[in-house]
């Protein structure tokens, strides 16, 4: 569980394709107090640190995650948003972010008035003034149409995340609000 408040960014230093089902990433960062087995949000995706060497940690990405995220498109030197898992007693300043990416979206307008084209199937989970995570960043939806979500991004967020590096057409990871996902499931399964 995460908050969507990015702690720092890291830099992808190595990418290895072990087979069709596993992608290995090496990420250099200034995150401290990381141990093997820790969950770390990388561009919003909950991944497990499998190896640590000085200022670099390694994660493995499996086929399901590859198919739903932008992680397979990363290149060496790309900057990624990082957040360690929430600890009991930590402040919750963003919103509950599971690190379970629902889909990707495409940037159609750049920050500070960010607009992202989203797939129709996740539209029911996005509400005006609701929460959404974009590349792991907890953001508030300013407006939503049939296939676009609009978000006002403050300068602090731009300066401290990789959202400042987006361009038109950039693919971003999207995680809808956890509560919306559960409400939808309850409605669908009510009569089962």
What pTM value is reported for the model? 0.93
DSSP 3-state of 138: strand
Residue 47 lies in a domain: yes
Residues 75 and 107 in one domain: no
Do 130 and 74 belong together in one domain? no
Provide the CATH number for the domain around residue 78.
2.40.30.20
Owning domain of residue 125 = 103-189
Q: Tokens in use for 191?
A: 């009569």
CA neighbor of 74 nearest in space, from 7, 131, 26: 26
Q: pLDDT (tens digit, 9 = 90+) per residue, 82-114?
A: 999 988 888 878 888 999 999 999 999 999 999
- 127 neighbors 141 (Cβ within 8 angstroms): yes
Q: Following DSSP, what letter does each residue of 19-31 receive, concatenated? A: ETTEEEEEEE---
Q: Give the per-residue pLDDT at 190.
A: 77
- pLDDT recorded at residue 151: 97
- Over residues 12-37, the pLDDT tens digits come to 999 998 777 789 999 999 999 999 99
Residue-level length of the chain = 192
Q: What is the average per-residue pLDDT within 157-169?
A: 97
């Amino acid at each position: 569980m995460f908050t969507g408040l990015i702690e720092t960014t890291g830099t992808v230093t190595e990418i290895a394709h072990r087979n069709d089902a596993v992608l290995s990433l090496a990420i250099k960062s200034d995150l401290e107090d990381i141990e093997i087995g820790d969950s770390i949000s990388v561009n919003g995706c909950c991944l497990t640190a499998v190896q640590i060497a000085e200022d670099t940690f390694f994660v493995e990405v499996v086929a399901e995650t590859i198919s739903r995220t932008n992680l397979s498109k990363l290149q060496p030197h790309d900057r990624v948003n990082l957040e360690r898992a929430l600890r009991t007693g930590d402040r919750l300043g963003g919103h509950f972010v599971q690190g379970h990416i629902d889909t990707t979206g495409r940037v159609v307008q750049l920050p500070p008035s960010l607009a992202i084209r989203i797939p129709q199937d996740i539209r029911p989970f996005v509400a005006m003034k609701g929460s959404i995570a974009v590349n792991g960043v907890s953001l508030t939806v300013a407006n939503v149409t049939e296939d676009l979500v609009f978000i006002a991004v403050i300068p602090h967020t731009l300066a401290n995340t990789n959202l400042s590096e987006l361009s038109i057409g950039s693919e971003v990871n999207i995680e809808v609000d956890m509560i919306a996902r559960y409400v939808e499931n309850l409605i669908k399964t009510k009569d089962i």
